[in-house]
């Protein structure tokens, strides 16, 4: 029986808090009370700083052998997964639509960023040459960039 004054021991040490939390959650799902300690207080470019011995997964001393068996079972199960045959579930139509929308939006902003300076360059070349047609082409590029930017900014806003 585990009590609040019982000793705890380290069952696993990991390099990241994410890995330690994943192990602890898997152990808890299998009935072993597990906690994570040593999570660094600071991160520097996604790398833990200030944790000397890594992030530890702790269990009650009385559950250590059970935790080790369960952890080995978890690792064995993970090695046996056939990722080529794993079914990832149905593709969510809404998620696919949002992904396509995001890609289209990125392309639109890329075009705006390219068209605006290109239009200014063409207008400038037309002015230097005194060529009205080249100036109009540059103007069309600038106006196209402005229209696309305005649509991108205002698109999706609905009256409330």
pLDDT per residue rounded down to tens, the chain (160 residues): 455 668 889 999 888 888 889 999 999 999 999 998 876 554 544 555 555 668 889 999 999 999 999 999 988 888 887 777 766 666 677 878 888 888 888 888 999 999 999 999 999 999 999 999 999 999 999 999 999 888 888 875 654 4
Cβ atoms of 30 and 71 closer than 8 Å: no
pLDDT score, position 47: 52
- Separation CA 146–CA 116 (nearest Å): 8
CB of 36 closer than 8 Å to CB of 21: yes
Residue 65 pLDDT? 94
pLDDT of residue 43: 52
> Could you say which DSSP state residue 1 is in?
-
Q: How high is the pLDDT of residue 4?
A: 64
Domain positions in the chain: 8-79, 93-154
Burial of 87: CB neighbours in 10 Å, binned 0-12, 13-18, 19+: exposed
Q: What CATH architecture is 8-79?
A: 2-Layer Sandwich (3.30)
Q: What is the pLDDT of residue 80?
A: 83
The confidence score (pLDDT) of residue 16 equals 84
């Amino acid at each position: 029986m585990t009590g609040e004054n019982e000793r705890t021991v380290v069952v696993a040490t990991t390099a990241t808090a994410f890995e330690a939390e994943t192990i602890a959650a898997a152990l808890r799902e299998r009935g072993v009370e597990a906690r994570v300690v040593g999570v660094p207080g600071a991160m520097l470019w996604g790398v833990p700083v200030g944790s000397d011995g890594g992030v530890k997964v702790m269990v009650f001393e009385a559950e250590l052998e059970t935790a080790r068996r369960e952890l080995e079972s978890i690792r064995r199960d993970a090695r046996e997964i056939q990722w080529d045959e794993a079914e990832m579930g149905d593709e969510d139509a809404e998620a696919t639509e949002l992904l396509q929308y995001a890609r289209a939006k990125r392309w639109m902003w890329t075009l705006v960023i390219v068209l605006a300076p290109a239009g200014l360059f063409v207008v400038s070349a037309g002015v230097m040459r005194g060529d009205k047609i080249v100036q109009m082409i540059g103007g069309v590029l600038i106006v196209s960039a402005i229209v696309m930017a305005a649509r991108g900014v205002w698109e999706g806003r609905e009256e409330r």
